Amino acid sequence: MSAVKLSDEKLVEFLWKSSLKSFPAILDALRYLDGKWVPEEAEYELFDGTTGDDSTETIQIKVPQIPGIPATALLAFVIHAQAFNLIRRMPKRMAAQAGSPEEIGVFYELTPSGSYVVTVLEILTDASAERI
């Protein structure tokens, strides 16, 4: 499988549309997600069809916390990075225990394009730090 190189235009678009608005924050988030198992919790609420309620389900996701990055911004960033093929997400379901919700473990890793973005951000943040 050959790696598709991220174009300059796509890199600029990724950075511009990111929910995280600083290079160090984007770099921290990508580094954090690379090779990380993140627990997710699925809780299903089933309604009784005999009362006329429709059967629905809700999923609550536990978002990891990175200092300085709000959970909602990190969740939006993960979705954004996946759309640009910078990270891969591989879920693994764990069996539900009696009385507890089903657990889902998700493994994140950088794609070759994600590694390229990390390298670019490292250079940008190092250059910014040297000017200070």
The least confident of 7-21, 49-63, 82-96, 111-125 is 49-63
Quick check: 125 pLDDT over 60? yes
C-alpha span between 47 and 57 (Å, rounded):
9
pTM of the predicted structure, to 2 decimals: 0.69
Tell me if 81 sits within 8 A of 37, measured CB to CB. no
Domain boundaries, the chain: 33-131
SS3 category, 100: coil
C-alpha span between 121 and 42 (Å, rounded):
34
Q: What is the mean pLDDT of the chain?
A: 76
Q: May I ask the CATH architecture of the domain 33-131?
A: Orthogonal Bundle (1.10)
Helices of type H across 34-102: 71-83
